[in-house]
Structure 1
Amino acid sequence: MFLGEFRHTLDAKGRIIIPSKFRESLGDEYVISRGLDGCLFLFPMEEWKSFEEKLRTLPITESRAFVRYFTASASDGSVDKQGRALIPQNLRDVANIEKNAVIIGTPNKLEIWSEELWDQYMSSDIMSDDNIAKQMEELGF
């Protein structure tokens, strides 16, 4: 499980430091893809394989767009010796990440956001205490 929020700057080659707290759980190899809400998803390779298996079982007539959304932009990679992961240019463009980014942990993957979009998202009504309390109630928490 990944927990926390970390702010980092991309280097000139589009690499971002993966927080040391996340590196062991991430492992050496990963898949990065388009995410939801404007972010990118960074899957440990084992999680990506599980996700990919689920994609393979979906009926093609109902899932074409869904499968394409995640796989067309996906790129595999490995964390370098300095703990950095490359974010390909096409994905930086999709997520509007130019220089500053935020890496957040979720139960099975990392999300990478442009710092500006993350800050907007966190201050939006979606993330208000009342909205989160309502969602918790609806989900049985």
Structure 2
Amino acid sequence: MLNADQAEQSLPQAANEADDMGLPPLLLGTYTPKVDDKGRLALPAKLRGQLGQGLVMARGQERCVYLLPQSEFRRVAVQIQRTSMGNKAAREYLRVFLSGAVEQKPDKQGRVLLPQMLRDYAHLSDDVVVIGVGTRAEIWDTKAWESYLESKEQGYSDIADDVLPEVEF
């Protein structure tokens, strides 16, 4: 079993191995940066390298903001676009998703501007939570995230067998 220091050191190695295998980055953890007066968010250092030099912010589900590496955003957008244009739900989803998407490049301090449109959509104040959710990160208003997490806690245990039937812990 790895101790905390060994686990910390193995994360960059695991990220490099994932890159070598052509896998998307694995974004993990919970972080509590602040949004400054200019609407900028300092990306958590552990996520910065995995998100890359450029990223895309978009409207997420449950009133959060998605942060995706550009390659992952492109993969998702292409997958949605492959859905039949005759599918009204797919057209509507694509319109909302892509119209709210913004490309960002972190500045030298690792900050990105949270566009007002996305701050309004997710009801973001200066107190936010950034969570890693596998191939994307999400930005939540702190109170909204705490409420969401509390409301889903029991369900998390209840649905484990349905969602993870093949995974053994």
Instruction: Tell whether the structures are fold-level matches, with TM greater than 0.5.
Output: yes
Task: Tell me what 2:135 maps to.
Answer: 108
Unaligned residue ranges in structure 2 (runs of 5+):
1-25
More strand by share: 1
Other-structure match for 2:159: 135
User: 1:107 Cα deviation (Å)?
Assistant: 0.9
- Aligned residue among 93, 98, 102 for 1:71: 98
Q: How do 1:24-39 residues align onto structure 2 when only pairs under 5 Å count? A: 24-39=49-64
Structure 2: how far apart are the matches of 1:132 and 1:116?
19
Q: Which structure has more helix as a fraction of its residues?
A: 2
Alignment partners' CA distance in 1, 2:153 and 2:67: 22
Q: Deviations over 1:77-114 (max 9, x none)?
A: 10110011111000000000021110000110110001
Report what 1:46 is aligned to: 71
Aligned residues: 138
Aligned partner of 2:117 in structure 1 is 90
3-state secondary structure, aligned to 1:85: strand
Please give the TM-score of this superposition, normalised by the length of structure 2.
0.78
Distance in 1 between residues matched to 2:94 and 2:32, nearest whole Å: 30
**1:23 Cα deviation (Å)?**
0.8
Instruction: Kindly provide the amino acid, as one letter, of the partner of residue 117 in structure 2.
Output: N
1:56 aligns with 2:64: no
**Amino acid across the alignment from 1:59:** S
Gaps of 5+ in 1: none
2:147 is paired with a residue of what secondary structure? helix
Residue identity in the other structure for 1:136: A
User: Which of these two proteins has the greater Rg computed from alpha carbons?
Assistant: 2
* TM-score, length-scaled by structure 1: 0.93
> What stretches of structure 1 move > 2 A for 4+ residues in a row?
none
3-state DSSP class of the match of 1:8?
coil
Equivalent-residue separation in structure 2 for 1:56 and 1:68 (angstroms): 10
Q: How far, CA to CA, are the matches of 1:51 and 1:68 in structure 2? A: 14
Q: Larger relative contact order (C-alpha < 8 A, sep ≥ 6)?
A: 1
Deviation at 1:38, TM superposition (A): 1.3
